[in-house]
Chains A and B, each alone.
Chain A
């Protein structure tokens, strides 16, 4: 296991330029994503931080900008979003560029399926509404602004769908794509619908 892991890992970019207020002071940079998002951005259920490796750079940029602009992660019930927002608040455009470059050096390794209790057969029917934007194979569609779902941590998908359904995410007036998601997600109706559709996504080839 570790051998392949090491071989892939070595292509990781060098830690970028550091900034410091005074020359003798401890330097730091903004590459702190892996503390929460885990080894090479593969997600960490322990802190409910999703997989970043393999995430589309345009989607990641939009989300970082939304967090930075207080469009995402502001609703009091969006616990994970609230945890994320301050991490993005102080990022400069340059830092975001640097982070996106760094993240693109990580290999896409699909996340494990973890959720239980969903019915993929029922989820399949529900997924037809999602497929319009995210594609039948859930690999996403940049021109529609829809990210890939396949390979993402299923617990993260469940949380986000719940948040859209409850209006914890996507309710901000400037969150155009979020508003679309809120309309679409209403077809899932409830938690059972969410579990069904995510367990169907888990069956798609990764």
Chain B
């Protein structure tokens, strides 16, 4: 049986009964009970607190530590162990520290193999681009604790901006619409649908009357429904005209049937939840200020352009061979913390146990890709956009407007971000990449091509000394297999109590700085335990 919802001009093919609706939500009798049980068992989260490292047993007498890779995890180890008196040496094959925390500024080398670039952005503090990590969730408390301790200035990162755009050729002939139009109307539609299914009289009454009343008012407010629980448009989407000195005129509704033409809502509505939900931060002046915070303390320990070539774990220590300035050197240490990416480590001579090597070989890598432009003027501000992300249903995927430098003349904007599968752009020449992003961006900003200049692109799969982005352990969508869990735990354990693999690659939540920090803390705590025993 079909029933029409007049204001939304859509037919709902099957009437949803309240029971079905509740079953769908999994709420019939379940939620309250679950919550009570949860709090009784202490399952609800404690107050946020960063880990406090106890390294008392890690007696520094004659203890030398080799740290392979000046990634965030390696620097965390260097910083902590130096504090308790260890002698740390960091070997870094690149010319710079930070690995996947990489802020690009005027004159910087982007060391992509086969596509080296120097960045030509104007030389000003706000003219930078975070080519790797860019956002810090407020729940990533261990990373934030270091930001506080190292006095790194933070500011809010603007992830969602209601005035930014959504563009899809399937939607309204490709005319970009504002985030606020999509979200307001979609919420209205969903709310009306919910309200209708809730008020059909013939259904069971799993809710008490006051509950049902609260629920309906919640739904009404969620979608800005009128008194009859119908969605008739909303001033939340902004005004067609007026609104300040005159009454505001409401914008036309975009029909749900039209909004349903785009599949992008799935990503778009999800983009501001979970790890990327508010509140997010960034380091003032570029994410590598975090790295600078560490190198202010341990920078003198880093040997740059020093490529590790062999790791031999022995009974009484560890030998590391590395090349620097065309010469092979030997570094001998008592302990080693290694954040060299797993797939690069497999090509480095070592005497690790078989299962450990199997684990290193098992991990695959994401192929993240980013591109950025210098904007000659901050044209987005003329369209009421300050920070945030526009979404496009084309390979460039996103445009990011900078979260800092408001009202300055120029700014650096992200012109493409393929976080999942960046192989398409990776395979292109620099010229093809740039042309692709200009063509894609023009769909939102018609004059884009003339407004931007000095492009840079970063294909992480080709970045020297990195060759990929985040570690991928899990191959099956449905979860980790038993074999994966075993390999993971094998890699987390030290070889001979002396060699630790670290980095977000040794976590179950890769692609986050917090995981890199926590893996380092786990390894140091484990060492401390062993030394105490």
List B contacts of A10 (CB < 8 A): 327-328
Contact B467 A12 (CB under 8 A): no
Tell me whether A63 is interfacial, beta carbon within 8 Å: no
- The proximity string for B residues 109-145 relative to A, scoring 1 for CB distances below 8 Å and 0 otherwise, is 1010111101000000000000000000000000000
Contact B344 A5 (CB under 8 A): no
Contact B118 A2 (CB under 8 A): no
- The proximity string for B residues 446-477 relative to A, scoring 1 for CB distances below 8 Å and 0 otherwise, is 00000000000000011011010000000000
List B contacts of A24 (CB < 8 A): 107
- The proximity string for B residues 330-370 relative to A, scoring 1 for CB distances below 8 Å and 0 otherwise, is 10000000000011111111010000000011000000000
Interface residues of A in 20-62 (CB under 8 A from B): 21-22, 24-26, 28, 32, 34-40, 42-47, 49
Tell me whether B173 is interfacial, beta carbon within 8 Å: no
List B contacts of A47 (CB < 8 A): 343-344, 346-347, 467
Contact B347 A49 (CB under 8 A): yes
Say which residue of A6, A43, A83 sits within 8 Å of B347 (CB atoms): A43
Tell me whether B326 is interfacial, beta carbon within 8 Å: yes
Q: Which residue of B lies closest to A91 (CB)?
A: B114
Interface residue tally of chain A, by bracket?
35 or more
| Contact of A2 with B310 at beta-carbon distance under 8 Å, contacts A37-B347, A46-B347, A86-B114 already known | yes
List A contacts of B344 (CB < 8 A): 35, 44, 46-47
Nearest CB of chain B from residue A53's CB, rounded to whole Å: 12
Tell me whether B103 is interfacial, beta carbon within 8 Å: no
List A contacts of B346 (CB < 8 A): 38, 44-47
Q: Which residue of B lies closest to A24 (CB)?
A: B107
Tell me whether A144 is interfacial, beta carbon within 8 Å: no
| Contact of A46 with B343 at beta-carbon distance under 8 Å, contacts A5-B321, A35-B113, A82-B427 already known | yes
Which are the 4 A-B pairs with shortest beta-carbon distances? A44-B347, A38-B347, A46-B346, A14-B326
Interface residues of B (CB under 8 A from A): 93, 95-96, 107-109, 111, 113-116, 118, 307, 309-310, 312, 319, 321, 323, 325-328, 330, 342-349, 351, 360-361, 427, 429, 461-462, 464-465, 467
Given contacts A1-B349, A13-B326, A90-B115, 17 further A-B contacts (CB under 8 A): A15-B326, A32-B113, A34-B307, A35-B467, A38-B346, A38-B347, A39-B309, A40-B309, A45-B347, A45-B361, A47-B343, A47-B467, A82-B427, A83-B461, A86-B113, A87-B462, A89-B429
